[in-house]
């Protein structure tokens, strides 16, 4: 029993003496120095380079050595231009900024004097950087893609130039007589259906201007020589040239006014033989019908009334789905034009026009409405 008690006491004594025996090594150096420090002598330690402690000399194991941030704004370290400072545990590295490369080849350096950072020409390094329709432009530290005209950078991918849809974005310069068609990198203006390019102007260009074919087919009846009539058709052609689809209402008004003036002052038409007068009247009504039908394509549904000093009145009723009808009155003579009938005859005006040179008697004249019909003598 006594032997056992002795053993326990011995072990206690050994444990008690351990710290004292281990505080310094054989060279007389403190063994308790905190992490990242080294001993000065048996009772003092000093932080390793790149670390700092509260006091320069550490005399208790409770103190710590903390990493110095050499990259902090107020530090002495300067990496120089086009470079970044990266703090590391106990040290730091200078590295070239993104988009710059060290000419020396050394990836890291410690001081401004060793800085060889130079802009990388990304465009030269990778000629296909800006995909199709773009031109690479090198900048300091980076590059940009400049799109060819008619293209724009994709917001999600600033390397990719995509087509600009000038038609839907409203950037086009198409005349209102045309319809805009987008193409890759550009657009073109094509005549509206039923329209043709104005004389000497090609279709499908940016500056294409078209005129309604409705007007071009309404020309003086062959075989009739009348200055009054020629002047009337000159006016009609001018109106056709200036016609804008949004202004169909005004154009109709102007045509009817011209017609009213013609009826009020028929001039040399009155000297024509009576049969030819009837033919001209028929020709005018036929042509007017075609033109009104063409113009009504751009009118909203509803009733339009026009009336003029010489007594010409027009009630134009546009009914898109049901039958279209137009009522033309002149001096109480009412003419009802059945537009559906006229449309079925196909080509507007083609063939249905009176040829006043080769009159076919009563057959032709039946186009002139009874009773009285349009004539050229104002009341």
Ligand X SMILES: *[C@@H]1O[C@H](CO)[C@@H](O)[C@H](O)[C@H]1NC(C)=O
Interface with ligand X by CB under 6 A: which residues?
Answer: 40-44, 57, 111-113, 176, 245-246, 249, 253, 298-300, 303-305, 315
CB of 328 to ligand X, least distance (A): 12
Tokens of 219: 């020309």
Return the number of the residue (57 or 275) whose C-beta is nearest ligand X. 57
Return the number of the residue (30 or 161) whose C-beta is nearest ligand X. 30
Q: Which of 223, 357, 240, 247 is nearest to 287 (CA)?
A: 240
Return the number of the residue (114 or 264) whose C-beta is nearest ligand X. 114
CB of 24 to ligand X, least distance (A): 10
CB of 112 to ligand X, least distance (A): 4
CB-based contacts of 281, cutoff 8 Å, min separation 6: 368, 373, 374, 375, 376
CB of 293 to ligand X, least distance (A): 14
- Which helix (DSSP H) or strand (DSSP E) does residue 100 occupy? strand 100-102
CB of 299 to ligand X, least distance (A): 6
Q: Which of 214, 315, 308, 212 is nearest to 263 (CA)?
A: 308
Backbone φ and ψ for 355, nearest 5 degrees, come out as -100, 100
CB of 54 to ligand X, least distance (A): 15
CB of 149 to ligand X, least distance (A): 27
CB of 72 to ligand X, least distance (A): 16
> From CA 252, how far away is CA 330, in angstroms rounded?
16
Return the number of the residue (116 or 253) whose C-beta is nearest ligand X. 253
CB 207 within 8 A of CB 201: yes
Q: How many CB atoms lie within 10 A of CB 260?
A: 21
CB of 316 to ligand X, least distance (A): 9
Return the number of the residue (153 or 299) whose C-beta is nearest ligand X. 299
- Cα torsion for 247, 251, 254, 259, to the nearest 10°? -160
Q: Look-up: residue for tokens 């990304």?
A: 122
The β-bridge relationship of strands 108-109 and 91-96 is antiparallel
Return the number of the residue (10 or 42) whose C-beta is nearest ligand X. 42
> From CA 100, how far away is CA 115, in angstroms rounded?
11
Return the number of the residue (122 or 175) whose C-beta is nearest ligand X. 175
Return the number of the residue (33 or 272) whose C-beta is nearest ligand X. 33
> From CA 337, how far away is CA 325, in angstroms rounded?
6
Q: How far is the CA of 29 from the CAs of 26, 48, 78, 102, 291, in angstroms?
A: 7, 15, 36, 44, 114
- Which helix (DSSP H) or strand (DSSP E) does residue 233 occupy? helix 227-242
CB-based contacts of 244, cutoff 8 Å, min separation 6: 176, 177
Return the number of the residue (271 or 300) whose C-beta is nearest ligand X. 300
Tokens of 171: 């950037």
> What proportions of the chain, in percent to the nearest 5, are helix, strand and coil?
30, 25, 45
CB-based contacts of 362, cutoff 8 Å, min separation 6: none
CB of 180 to ligand X, least distance (A): 11
Return the number of the residue (56 or 363) whose C-beta is nearest ligand X. 56
- Which helix (DSSP H) or strand (DSSP E) does residue 7 occupy? helix 2-22
């Amino acid at each position: 029993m006594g032997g056992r008690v002795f053993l326990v006491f011995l072990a206690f004594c050994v444990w008690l003496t351990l710290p004292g025996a281990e505080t310094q090594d054989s060279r007389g150096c403190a063994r308790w120095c905190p992490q990242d420090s080294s001993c000065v002598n048996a009772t003092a330690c000093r932080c390793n380079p790149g670390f700092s402690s509260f006091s320069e000399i550490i005399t208790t194991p409770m103190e710590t050595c903390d990493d110095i941030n050499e990259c902090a704004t107020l530090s002495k370290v300067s990496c120089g231009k086009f470079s970044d400072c990266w703090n590391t545990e106990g040290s730091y590295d200078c590295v070239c900024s993104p988009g710059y490369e060290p000419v020396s080849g050394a990836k890291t350096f410690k001081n401004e004097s060793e800085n060889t950072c130079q802009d990388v020409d990304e465009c030269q390094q990778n000629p296909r950087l800006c995909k199709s329709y773009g031109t690479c432009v090198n900048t300091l530290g980076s590059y940009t893609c400049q799109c060819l005209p008619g293209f724009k950078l994709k917001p999600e991918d600033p390397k990719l130039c995509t087509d600009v849809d000038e038609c839907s974005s409203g950037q086009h310069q198409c005349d209102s007589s045309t319809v805009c068609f987008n193409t890759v990198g550009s657009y073109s203006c094509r005549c509206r259906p039923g329209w043709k390019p104005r004389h000497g102007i090609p279709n499908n260009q940016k500056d294409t201007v078209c005129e309604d074919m409705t007007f071009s087919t309404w020309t003086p009846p062959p075989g009739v020589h009348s200055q009054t009539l020629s002047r009337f058709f000159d006016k009609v052609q001018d109106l056709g040239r200036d016609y804008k689809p949004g202004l169909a209402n005004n154009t109709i008004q102007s045509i009817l006014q011209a017609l009213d003036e013609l009826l009020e002052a028929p001039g040399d038409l009155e000297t024509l033989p009576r049969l030819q007068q009837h033919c001209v009247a028929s020709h005018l009504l036929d042509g007017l019908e075609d033109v009104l039908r063409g113009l009504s394509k751009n009118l909203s549904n509803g009733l339009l009334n026009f009336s003029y000093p010489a007594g010409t009145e027009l009630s134009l009723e546009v009914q898109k789905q049901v039958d279209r009808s137009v009522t033309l009155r002149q001096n109480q003579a009412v003419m009802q034009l059945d537009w559906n009938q006229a449309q079925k005859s196909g080509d507007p005006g083609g063939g249905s026009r009176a040829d006043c040179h080769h009159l076919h008697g009563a057959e032709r004249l039946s186009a002139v409405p009874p009773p009285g019909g349009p004539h050229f003598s104002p009341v």
